[in-house]
Structure 1
Amino acid sequence: MPATKDPQTKLIDAAMELAASGRWHDVTMIDIATAANTDIAIAFDHFKSKADILRQFVRKIDRLVLADLDPAEFNEPGHDRLIAVMMARFDALAPYRPALKSIIADHGDLGPADALRAIKTHFGSMRWMLDAAGFTTGGLHGSLRIAGLGTIYARGFLQWLDDETTDFGPTMAALDRALARGSNWDKRIHTGILRFNNLRGKVQSKCSGLAQKYRPTTHTETAPDSTKNPDISS
């Protein structure tokens, strides 16, 4: 007997089914709750809006990809690991392609605030994908890596939506080329940051030396000696 789905999973699945069968813009939270056979109050407890459902759907895909990682692949070159992680993501999304086409056609039906949250969620996913592929994501270099991969993935995602091949070969080839170009830029950025840090260290050292050299000398005033200057009033 299959395990009973939790309300959150039921609502996400219902939202994807409704998106696949019609226009995402026309789907309401009541429609989703009804399709999931869930009370609208329970739906409210789990999601505040359709945009919230989409963010949780992305997190669901993140979990599926990360749970399916093979530790044996961690010894492979970073480029190959990253392609494997990206393609695993597309494999996890494959059952939802009709729904995703509908959602993309309506630009997610997102308002300005939800769009900003969606961008944050997207970059969060890219951070995890880079971490899963063995890349560091901290500091300025890491942030630039995340932004670069986010752009590469977004373009690959749009191509994947229209890729009708059984193995998504054209999408993989496009990703391979894009990541190769990205790797070249990543090396340049790494070199540039090292040079900048080296120059900054020299400037800071020079400034510290100058500050020490020209630091004003303080003089301590000596109290008058009462024996040499007797009080005339005594």
Structure 2
Amino acid sequence: MTDDHLLTEKRALLEAMLPHVPFDGWTAKALNLAARDAGLDTGVVLRAFPGGAADVLDFWVSETDAAMLRVLEGRDLAAMKVRERVKLAVMTRLELAAPHREAVRRALTLEALPQHAPRALKQLYRTVDAIWYAAGDTATDFNFYTKRMLLAGVYGATLLHWLDDKSENFAGTSAFVDRRLADVMRIEKAKSKLAKLADRLPNPFRNLRRA
């Protein structure tokens, strides 16, 4: 079996499973119903997702991240400030998931369980890394990690807000992202000021190194 054929089967199972998730969660039952609806046998399911429903969820996260990047490739990001790019990426990511918002809620419920925490953290990292990639981040120093850590907090809080947002076109979530990103910008400015101040302070160990 070719990789392309396996990918086609994965996508078919995912598409068939998503309508069942709001009722049955990310479970073996939902996956079995998806296989039935897609006309695929158990062998195909095991080959496509050996880890079961949790693997399907992981695949969905990756597929949605990739879709976000494709959408953003068609936008004039170079004309935007970094903060605007990040916001656009976050909102695009949520809009892509919007048709299956209840499946997102079910995913958060599943991944709140201790045994799923490592996988959930990896998924969150991949998403925020994709957002920063789309925003044109080129950091290779410690800022690479601090940016992703801060954005993970923003994205996680935004996701919870978005799940209950009933405003038109998610206007409430858009405003929420603005506030959270403003908080991050204040933190970054404070870090920059502290770094400059530290550079001007005398180093008490300099003379010790010369001794």
TM category (shorter chain) comes to: 0.7 to 0.9
Query: Where has structure 1 moved over 6 Å in runs of 4 or more?
Result: none
Q: Would you tell me which structure has more helix in proportion to its own residues?
A: 2
Q: Could you state the TM-score of these two structures normalised by the residue count of structure 2?
A: 0.82
CA contact (8 A) 2:10 2:48 kept: yes
1:129 to 124, 128, 131: 131
Q: 1:10 to 1:204 in 2, by over 3 A?
A: farther
Supply the AA of the counterpart residue of 2:18: M
Higher CA-based Rg: 1
Q: Could you state the TM-score of these two structures normalised by the residue count of structure 1?
A: 0.75
Q: 1:102 to 1:120 in 2, by over 3 A?
A: closer
1:177 maps to 179
Supply the AA of the counterpart residue of 1:18: H
2:90 maps to 86
Secondary structure of 1:6 counterpart? helix
User: How many angstroms apart in 2 are the aligned matches of 1:35 and 1:44?
Assistant: 16
User: How many angstroms apart in 2 are the aligned matches of 1:110 and 1:49?
Assistant: 18
2:15 maps to 13
1:151 maps to 153
Matched, 1:54 2:57: yes
Secondary structure of 1:186 counterpart? helix
1:222 maps to none
Supply the AA of the counterpart residue of 1:209: R
Secondary structure of 2:142 counterpart? helix
User: How many angstroms apart in 2 are the aligned matches of 1:108 and 1:206?
Assistant: 56
User: How many angstroms apart in 2 are the aligned matches of 1:114 and 1:161?
Assistant: 20
CA distances 1:12-51 after superposition (whole Å, capped 9, x unpaired): 122211112x131654343332233212211212212222
Q: Quote the RMSD (CA, aligned, Å).
A: 2.7
2:103 maps to 99
CA distances 1:212-232 after superposition (whole Å, capped 9, x unpaired): xxxxxxxxxxxxxxxxxxxxx
Q: 1:176 to 1:42 in 2, by over 3 A?
A: same
The total of aligned residue pairs comes to 203
Secondary structure of 2:103 counterpart? helix
- Percent identity reads 22
1:63 maps to 66
Q: 1:71 to 1:171 in 2, by over 3 A?
A: closer
Structure 2 alignment gaps of length 5 or more: none
User: How many angstroms apart in 2 are the aligned matches of 1:97 and 1:145?
Assistant: 27
Supply the AA of the counterpart residue of 1:130: W
2:78 to 55, 74, 81: 74
